């Protein structure tokens, strides 16, 4: 199932808030609909929101009705700002809009040429993500033993990308290589990406999967049921500190305590070399209703104070290796990530 698709000059986004019960696409005729889809997590996961933002920019640009190149570029820049402001943590979003802006500015020609070039670049980002997932799978599956029980958190799968996924891409590649892999999926409170999406993807692939609530991870490890952990990432600082879905840090601490390898899988576009450490990664805070309510029903008393960060930061020292689309980076990450970027 495609996370998104470009059909007849508009973007269609698979509404992940309805999964696994319903598979419906949201038709986006205006870029504002794409912004809304990103904000409400209809499309989510770092590489997927990067690709959606790229298409959103191309879509918004296609509707700009001015003749002058400079005026057009200014209007496109405004749309880029709106798209980039939808979610602050995943750097792929900013990366994708910056890439489109760069290509547009470096292309000679009038408004029609620029509109075309923006759409071509959005298609390129989408296509490249497929290949990037494939490469991560190849590099990463080598680290998975012949028989392995893997814990993952959130959804870093096909739904979070254009391809096979990052963390789940590695698991899929190991499974396809004939390894006996079984998956434990943390449910991922508050929005249940693990329970709704990761289990759904694994069942479709016939990879054995067991759902646990987030607070079961420690006991699961203590019982010797986890051989390795693989998660995705929303932004990786130059030193390897990694922002990912809230709860990831706890899993990493537990893995360290139990001597279990903890891997991060992410494309190089998720590495932000402008950010030296995790301290400087902006963390999105989301609506308190995500915690006060469960499936639309209020579960917390009115008036209670809520803290709802959507991501946390796992320090590099807890990460065994970072699996990228250019190879596997090992500590110290400041050197190894820079080395892969220079490749």
Measure Cα distances from 280 to 88, 149, 275, 329 in Å.
Answer: 12, 34, 6, 21
Question: Looking at the chain, how many residues does it have?
Answer: 343
**Options 28, 44, 140, 201; binder of ligand MRU; rule CB under 6 A:** 44
Tally of CB atoms within 10 A around 22: 8
Residues in the interface with ligand MRU (CB under 6 A) total 18
Contact status: 171 vs ligand MRU (CB under 6 A): no
Among 310, 313, 316, 321, binds ligand MRU (CB under 6 A): 310
CA-based nearest residue to 210, from 181, 192, 185, 174: 185
Binding span for ligand MRU by CB under 6 A among 29-37, 65-73, 156-164, 176-184: 156-164
Euclidean distance between CA atoms 58 and 53, whole angstroms: 9
Among 33, 149, 161, 242, interactor with ligand MRU by CB under 6 A: 161
Active-site annotation holder among 82, 129, 234, 241 = 234
Q: Please, which residue, 121 or 325, has the CB nearer to ligand MRU?
A: 325
Q: What is the footprint of ligand MRU within residues 118-137 (CB under 6 A)?
A: none
Closest to ligand MRU by CB, 76 or 313: 313
Q: Bridge partners of 52?
A: none
Q: Which are the contacts of 254, defined by CB distance < 8 A and separation ≥ 6?
A: 217, 218, 221, 260
Q: Token pair for residue 21? A: 């019960």
Q: Under rule CB under 6 A, which residues in 223-242 are in contact with ligand MRU?
A: 232-234
Residue 46 interacts with ligand MRU (CB under 6 A)? yes
Q: With contacts defined by CB under 6 A, name the span among 41-49, 68-76, 250-258, 320-328 that binds ligand MRU.
A: 41-49
Q: What angle do CA 270, 331, 125 make, to 5 degrees?
A: 15
**Cα–Cα distance, 130 to 136 (Å, whole number):** 10
Is position 156 an interface residue for ligand MRU (rule: CB under 6 A)?
Answer: yes
Is 234 a catalytic site residue? yes
Residue with the shortest CB distance to ligand MRU: 232
Query: Which one among 86, 141, 193, 269 touches ligand MRU, defined by CB under 6 A?
Result: 193
**Spatial separation of the C-alpha atoms in residues 105 and 252, rounded to whole Å:** 42
264 in Cβ contact with 319 (< 8 Å): yes
- Catalytic residue positions, numbered: 234
**Interacting residues toward ligand MRU by CB under 6 A:** 41, 44-47, 90, 154, 156, 160-161, 166, 193, 232-234, 244-245, 310
């Amino acid at each position: 199932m495609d996370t998104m698709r470009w059909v007849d000059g508009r973007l269609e986004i698979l509404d992940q808030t309805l999964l696994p019960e319903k598979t419906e696409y949201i038709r986006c005729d205006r870029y504002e609909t794409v912004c809304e889809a990103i904000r409400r997590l209809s499309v989510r996961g770092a590489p997927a929101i990067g690709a959606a933002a790229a298409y959103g920019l191309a879509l918004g640009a296609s509707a700009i009705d001015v003749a002058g190149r400079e005026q057009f570029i200014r209007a496109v820049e405004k749309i880029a700002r709106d798209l980039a402001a939808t979610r602050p943590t995943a750097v792929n979003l900013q990366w994708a809009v910056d890439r489109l802006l760069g290509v547009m500015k470096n292309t000679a020609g009038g408004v029609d040429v620029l509109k075309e070039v923006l759409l071509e670049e959005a298609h390129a980002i989408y296509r490249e993500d497929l290949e990037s997932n494939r490469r991560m799978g190849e590099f990463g599956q080598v680290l998975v033993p012949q028989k392995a029980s893997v814990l993952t958190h959130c959804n870093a799968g096909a739904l979070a990308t254009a391809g096979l996924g990052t963390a789940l891409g590695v698991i899929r590649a190991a499974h396809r290589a004939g390894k006996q892999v079984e998956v434990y999926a943390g449910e991922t409170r508050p929005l249940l990406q693990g329970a709704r999406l990761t289990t759904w993807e694994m069942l479709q692939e016939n990879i054995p999967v067991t759902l646990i609530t987030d607070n079961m991870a420690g006991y699961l490890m203590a019982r010797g049921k986890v051989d390795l952990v693989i998660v995705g990432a929303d932004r990786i600082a130059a030193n390897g500190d990694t922002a990912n879905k809230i709860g990831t840090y706890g899993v990493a601490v537990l893995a360290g305590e139990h001597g279990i390898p903890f891997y991060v899988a992410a494309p190089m576009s998720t590495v932000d070399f402008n950010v030296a450490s995790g301290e400087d990664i902006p963390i999105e805070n989301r609506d308190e209703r995500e915690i006060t309510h469960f499936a639309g029903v209020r579960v917390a008393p009115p008036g209670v104070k809520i803290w709802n960060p959507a991501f946390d930061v796992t320090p590099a020292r807890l990460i065994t290796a970072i699996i990228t689309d250019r190879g596997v980076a090992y500590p110290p990450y400041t050197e190894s990530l820079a080395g892969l970027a220079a490749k």
